[in-house]
Structure 1
Amino acid sequence: MQARFARGIAQMPLTVAAREVQQAEAAVMPEVGDLVTVCSRDQETRFSIRLIGVAGPDLWYGKIHEINRGVEMLVVAEGLELDDVVSVRRAEIASVIPAERPH
């Protein structure tokens, strides 16, 4: 997962090592508006991200909606904050909660 902005003296994009997830063929494919979960590689920090745009095949832009470490809710973790915009690869998405869509 990579932040779309630069922070700090180096002005480099911020990258958080996310755990890659084996996807089943029948797994729900995320769409813009869905809420997805990305887990850090240490599996202790979970980021809930609302997808806001498509960045490419199997790549989305999203805004961090919630950050959790265990039962603790955080505002900042691993250099990322609530409302930061990040890019997320399909392989990093652990779960998808579909947005309400008309049927």
Structure 2
Amino acid sequence: MNRFNVKKLGFAFGLTGALIYIGCMIVMATAGQEGTISFFNSLLHGLDTTNIIRMDVPLLEAFFGIVQTFIIGWLIGACIGAFYNAQIKVKK
């Protein structure tokens, strides 16, 4: 069995999370409040997001959100890679 490179898998997860976060920012910037609510209501199987959608997010807060999402994604990917590698039987 092949082993995962833990750092590379973590980076892939982190970058994917950051891209999804940026996609969310693009939806919010282009669709407006009603379009954003409609998009996320349909994405979340009808969950009403009207009360939790906030359109006045400061740029610095959005930047920190991207960074935090990347870090959490990296940690999740690294853990998955490490746990997977730990389960592989080593041939001798």
Bigger radius of gyration, 1 or 2? 2
Greater relative contact order (CA < 8 Å, ≥ 6 in sequence): 2
Greater share of residues in strand: 1
Greater share of residues in helix: 2
TM-score of the alignment, normalized to the shorter chain, above 0.5: no
User: What is the TM-score of this pair, normalised by structure 1?
Assistant: 0.23
